[in-house]
Amino acid sequence: MENLGYLLAAYTVIWAVIFGYVLFMQRKQRGLQRQIKRLQESVYKSEIDDK
Amino acid sequence: MNKVFTKILAIFWKDILAEFRTKEIVTSVLVFALLVLVIFSFAFGTRADAMELVAPGILWTALTFGGVLGFNRVFIMEKENSRLEGLMLCPVDRAVIYWGKLAGSFTFILAVAVVITPIFLVLLNLPLFLPRLALIIVLATLGFAAVGTLFSAVAINTRARDIMLPILFLPIAVPVIVAAVKATALVIAGRPWGDMLVWLQIIIVFDIIYLVIATLVFEFVVEE
Amino acid sequence: MKGKHVLRDNVLLGLGLALMIAALYMVFVYVPTEKHTGIVQRIFYFHVPLAWSSFLAFFVTFIFSILYLWKRATKWDTIAHASAEVGVVFTTLVLITGPIWAKPVWGVWWTWDARLTTSLVLWLTYIAYLLVRSYVTEPARGARFGAVIGIVGFIDVPIVFLTVNLWRTQHPTTIIFEGGLTTPMLMTLLVCVAAFTVLYVLLTIQSANLKSVEADIKQLKSTQAE
């Protein structure tokens, strides 16, 4: 069971990086959704202003 | 065919003349390469036995980084004076622009190499007459210029243009650098032609492949 | 856009999950410990699929870069960009797990062997790809530049590999890659390759969707500013 530490390290890094990337994408997506909301609001506002 | 060659020559000659006036590229690259040479010689010590091992690396580090500095300048005049648009208005195949600029950048770096190499050989007490080294330098510089000219056109249109060129250029140039260093080491050690041949072949193949590829894709880089 | 491919995405997700669980089982329970190198050798079952998937990712970028320059449809470029991004993530893992495996087995963190070195050059090349795309302001130009680098960079791969291979055989190292694979090892490896390929596809689709929405928003904002 020698070198178990290395094995653990390798698999931990793999999962950490992959999950990190997924989280990174999720955070970007939330940011984009916020921007969509803001755009929708401003479109809504300008529609009201036009009327 | 003749027209194409004339146009390439025209672009090349314009760059040569401009360089003759200002001597900007060649002097700065020369001084920089010289500095790299000297600093690396200090960094690796001047012991005679170690010198044969590290000498090729020192030479090619100087030429590589000097080259990067030089390639950064290839399109700088066009970019700053908006001359690229003027050049683009001419009904020429975009590849002609590439070959014209390539001829210029190749010549400048080769000129620097011609000056640097004897200094290098003297500083490190190596034999001076090495015609095979000249061949290596010509072929490798051609490979550098092929990639450097293409990436220079890319880098100059990005935000961090000075740092973008080395980041793009160096990984791609790895095969040339490895092969050139190995071949140079063999030449300095006085080994026969046959030993060196395979490394030369790598550089030649690299040159051909990248000259062709760059000719094909250059138009996509400069199109508006 | 996400609505269009709900079935495809869910099937992929289910398949990926199933394969990954199967892979984990095979790596940690099924396959016997390798005699020479011991338990650390199990890193191999994820290290190699990561390498192959990253190679696939950059190949996809290469193909779609050519497609983009030819057809100029943005979707090709989006896939090329996303694939390169995932490829860099996977290559990063290759470069981390490689040394973690090498140290206990061969005593050194890094060997300049052809495969690992080519991965390093690939990593640097496609990081440059991502940097260029982020440093260019107009999206169309960024796409074109990316395509050029995606093509030029990939063509370098065989040249780098052969050169470094030649370079290293001149200095015979103590590194000899282990001989044959027993059948259980091969089965495990294949399942892992399948699992990581599906993971690559999932991540690339996700990344491409994100980039597509990003581009749409950017366009909306610019037309709104007018």
pLDDT digits (tens, 9 = 90+) for B173-211: 999 999 999 999 999 888 888 889 999 999 999 999 999
Determine, yes or no, domain membership for A5.
no
Q: What confidence score (pLDDT) does residue C174 get? A: 45
Residues whose CB falls within 8 Å of the CB of residue B114, separated by 6 or more in sequence, listed in order = none
As for how many domains chain C has, the answer is 1
**Parent domain of C78:** 45-215
pLDDT at B50 over 90: no
Give CA–CA dist B84/B93, Å, rounded: 14
**Helix%, strand%, coil% for chain A, nearest 5:** 90, 0, 10
Using alpha carbons, select from B79, B214, B207 the residue that is nearest to residue B150: B214
Q: What confidence score (pLDDT) does residue C178 get? A: 54
Percent over 90 (pLDDT), chain B: 51
Higher pLDDT, B74 or C76: C76
Give CA–CA dist B50/B72, Å, rounded: 33
- The residue whose two tokens read 């001597």 is B23
- Angstroms from C160 CA to nearest CA on chain B: 5
| Residue A51 three-state SS | coil
Q: Which of residues 25-84 of C touch A (CB under 8 A)?
A: 38-40, 42-43, 46-47, 50
Q: What is the mean pLDDT of each run of 10 residues along chain C (226 residues)?
A: 74 88 85 78 90 96 96 94 97 94 86 89 96 88 94 94 85 54 83 94 94 88 75
Residue A2 carries which DSSP code?
T
Q: What confidence score (pLDDT) does residue B199 get? A: 94
Q: What confidence score (pLDDT) does residue C68 get? A: 95
Q: What confidence score (pLDDT) does residue A50 get? A: 77
Paired residues of C34 in beta bridges: C38
Q: What confidence score (pLDDT) does residue B85 get? A: 65
Higher pLDDT, B170 or B51: B170
Using alpha carbons, select from C212, C166, C198, C176 the residue that is nearest to residue C52: C198
Q: What confidence score (pLDDT) does residue C136 get? A: 86
As for how many domains chain B has, the answer is 1
**Chain C residue closest to B182 (CA)?**
C167
Determine, yes or no, domain membership for C175.
yes
Neighbours of A40 (CB within 10 A): 11
Q: What confidence score (pLDDT) does residue B17 get? A: 87
Q: Taking the alpha carbons of B171, B176, B179, B185 in that order, is the dihedral positive or negative?
A: negative
Q: Is C135 exposed, middle or buried (0-12, 13-18, 19+ CB in 10 A)?
A: middle
Determine, yes or no, domain membership for C67.
yes
Higher pLDDT, B117 or C33: B117
Give the mean pLDDT of chain B: 88
Determine, yes or no, domain membership for C19.
no
Q: What confidence score (pLDDT) does residue C89 get? A: 97
State the average pLDDT over residues B103-121: 92
**Parent domain of B156:** 2-222
Nearest CB among C39, C199, C206 relative to A3 is that of C39
Residue B47 carries which DSSP code?
-
**Parent domain of A42:** 19-51
pTM confidence score: 0.90
**Chain C residue closest to A7 (CA)?**
C40
As for how many domains chain A has, the answer is 1
Determine, yes or no, domain membership for C184.
yes
C-beta of residue C89 within 8 angstroms of C-beta of residue A17: yes
Give CA–CA dist C5/C9, Å, rounded: 6
C-beta of residue C122 within 8 angstroms of C-beta of residue A47: no
Chains B and A lie in contact, requiring 3 or more CB pairs less than 8 Å apart: no
